[in-house]
Structures are given as C-alpha cells and as structure tokens.
C-alpha cells in the first residue's frame, strides 16, 4: 500500500530500476508508490548515481534509532516551513528538468538549490554539504552560472566568505540560455541548407527547420526580455 514504509526489498527494486535507467515515475509505478516517495528516497541516499539499497536500509534504521519522540501539539506549526524531504524531492525534480535543457548536472543542482532556498543564496560550504561534492566542483559550477548571468557573488558580511545569490532575472535568463543554444542549432541547420542547396530535398528540409527554430528563438527571447525584472523596480 502507498502509506507503508519502504522495505529492504523495495529499496533493492529501486536500485535495480536505477541501474536499468528507469526514471522515478517508472520505478514508482512498479512499486505501487507515489513518484515523490521514490525521488525522496533516492535524493536522501546519495542520488541516482550513488544509491545503494543496502546503505539506504542501514541509514533508515540508524535514523529511526536516533529520532526522538515527536512532542504532542494541539495544532500544526504554520511557521515550521516546508517538509525538508519535500524540498529535497523538489530539488531533484528541478535538477532533472534543468539538465534536460542542456545544463550540466552539477550546475543544474546548484541552481536548483538556490531557487528553492528561502534566501535565494548559499555559501560554498553550504552547497558542498547539501550536494556532497567538493568545493572545486562547486566552483566550476558557479563559474558557469555566473558566466550566463544566472547568479552573482558577494561577501557574506558575517564570515567574509563568498555567498552566491540567485539573480533576480534567473528565471528569464535560464530560458534565454536554453533558447540561445537552440538558436545555435538553427544557425547550423541553415548553414547546412546552404551547403546542400535548398533545391535538394535534404537542403529544403534543413532550411524549413532552421527558419522555424530561428523564428521561435527570436520570439521567446523578445517575450522574455519584456518580462525581465526592471532595475530598481517593484
């Protein structure tokens, strides 16, 4: 049943599904569980590339032993914020979507963390701890994100460490970055049409596709620029 806890057998089936390249929804369907249950399980135990059924089972047992009894409360605490597991699952899902746009995985994970952080910012130490990667890996990822104008850095006034902030226009810029990659594809396709000649079937096919991609990219960029957050605006 969907409400019961994952068993060791469930975790072995999750590991087998990941090894076969199945996505979270497919694995969840095989288990009869919500997709979020599988994505949270994998995210809290090393991610798709490091997930181990045995280690995940041991970690669950250790967490259960350490977990103090929950205090009785008359009403839910509205100020407690979102469920940490739900946030981890969201970061995992958002990362997958960003990767699908062509963004390198570590850069996508960093951007997803900043998008979902309450302050929209994090230090290198916070990112390395959350993503379980080295500071050098984080540095390469933030360098790429800075290059595209998706994040900015400044000194943390309390510790003087670098803190990375999500740019106010990050949503718009991330769309534009993806579209610009699409425009490069359009330019290459149109160049191919010129090489083959539009009088040929292959050349005509490339020319039609290239013009469509070029026009689509221009339209999206114009729309994105119209919705950019104005400097010093509301």
* Per-residue confidence band for 227, with pLDDT thresholds at 50, 70 and 90: low
pLDDT digit string, tens, across residues 103-155: 899 998 998 888 888 888 888 888 998 888 899 999 999 898 888 777 888 77
Task: Please give the structure tokens belonging to residue 140.
Answer: 């390469």
164 SS3 class: strand
pLDDT digit string, tens, across residues 60-111: 777 666 655 555 444 444 445 567 777 788 888 888 878 877 789 999 899 8
pLDDT of residue 232: 45
CATH topology of domain 85-166: Arc Repressor Mutant, subunit A (1.10.10)
Q: DSSP E strands: which ranges in the chain?
A: 121-123, 151-155, 162-166
Under 8 Å between Cβ of 141 and 147: no
pLDDT of 6 over the 60 cut: yes
Q: Locate the domains of the chain by residue range.
A: 8-63, 85-166, 170-226
pLDDT digit string, tens, across residues 181-222: 677 878 888 988 899 888 998 889 889 988 998 888 788 777
Please provide the average confidence, as pLDDT, over all residues in the chain. Answer: 79
């Amino acid at each position: 049943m969907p409400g019961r806890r994952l068993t060791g057998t469930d975790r072995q089936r999750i590991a087998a599904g990941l090894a076969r390249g199945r996505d979270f929804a497919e694995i969840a369907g095989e288990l009869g569980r919500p997709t979020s249950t599988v994505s949270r399980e994998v995210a809290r135990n090393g991610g798709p590339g490091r997930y181990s059924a045995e280690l995940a089972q041991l970690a669950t047992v250790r967490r259960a032993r350490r977990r103090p009894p929950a205090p009785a409360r008359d009403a839910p605490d509205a100020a407690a914020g979102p469920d940490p597991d739900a946030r981890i699952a969201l970061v995992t899902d958002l990362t997958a979507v960003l990767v699908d746009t062509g963004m390198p995985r570590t850069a996508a994970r960093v951007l997803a963390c900043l998008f979902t952080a309450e302050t929209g910012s994090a230090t290198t130490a916070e990112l390395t701890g959350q993503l379980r990667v080295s500071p050098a890996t984080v540095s390469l990822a933030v360098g790429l994100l800075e290059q595209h104008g998706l994040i900015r850095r400044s000194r943390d006034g309390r510790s003087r460490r670098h803190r990375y902030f999500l740019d106010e226009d990050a949503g718009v810029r991330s769309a534009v970055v993806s579209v610009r990659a699409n425009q490069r594809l359009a330019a290459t396709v149109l160049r191919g049409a010129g090489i083959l000649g539009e009088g040929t079937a292959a050349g005509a096919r490339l020319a039609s596709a290239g013009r469509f991609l070029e026009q689509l990219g221009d339209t999206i960029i114009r729309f994105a620029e119209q919705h950019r957050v104005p400097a010093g605006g509301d």
